[in-house]
Structure 1
């Protein structure tokens, strides 16, 4: 039997390596190579394949989105072999199944093992369980891509405790740390504000390269006529915004009716 396969990977050397390995198996016909998920989905919308070698981390349409798009239609029984340099996507969930997961860099022996398992799976019927796993993985991926932080676990002087984000009045940058300001005190947490900003609840607003305020603790604010705002918080601390944040601040304040 001849099995058709495609490669989807944004790295040229990865595509080249896979195509060289596939070429060694006379039972596999390489139907195409694609640089991103969008190209692959366009092809798969009108072409049926047996095996998809699929990278996960790709710009725009990632591999998990491609896999999720194959749970219906002509390619719903296609066997997907994930290829990725990242190990956080539940490798063990697929190890017992024909749907496989190749962690880069992988060698020819590991590739051959995965390919043989894929061939066996193509010959079998009933892929519903496997694609339910893909759908579940995709849902988990969407939830984890930008996880919203609701509490911080703090370790101070041998003690460990948590601070709910609702108790945080503001967050200030201090080197490689963020200072979580509550009514009682400030707590050091090792994270950069740039990494933290997008994962905070919507009540938090970045107003300066070194400060984020929680609008739920805002007492009053005023425009200072020089493209900056003054924010007075309910702990009586005052923060002045940076000029480059003017547009964003105006937009958020307007959205919240402030």
Structure 2
């Protein structure tokens, strides 16, 4: 299975196969013209001609980190599932999905916005073959870069235990971890909520180099820091939450500011 599976879905079989050929040609052009893509080993994984075929393949093969070229109008029947329905299904099953609509009907674009599909491109079937290949190459470059970055920065999991239950949260979602008011527990704040569990700050620090210790009782994820108030010694996160850092960790905080461009100094 490819690292980034590529799936085409169009109810016109000839057109679907032509899109697949254009995608494979565009990938070869990317490899030939850009050293950064020399190790790409991708090609079209599956060509579907209706909603059910595409869904069956995605579910059976548990597709993740996929790139999907979808026709919006998958059937002439008004009640049939269309490409927007398929994109919605894909997004629920593959959170990193890169969706590209290949369509002759621009009128459908507002529907995709209303349903928060988040397509990365719309390619018109009315363009010339050369223009379509050029556009596919541009959008593939964007899709490969998006997926590589998401895998690199967001996909590793942080594991912790609550009783006998093993829990996971993506490293990229953690804001900070601090001592809890309850003895022998820590308080973890993430982008999706908060949790307390039995653990030791020093041990967490040793095992998780992506976190930075800013006091004897606090660890922070520098990638989610939006600003630092050096006068008040306060670290401010993207969601507005704050942590105070110790005077003895001023040098550590300075290194974070120098290393991470996302951090503003106030």
Q: More relative contact order in 1 or in 2 (CA 8 Å, sep 6+)?
A: 2
Instruction: Give the TM-score of the pair, scaled to structure 1.
Output: 0.43
Instruction: Give the TM-score of the pair, scaled to structure 2.
Output: 0.42
- From the two aligned structures, give the one with the greater helix fraction: 2
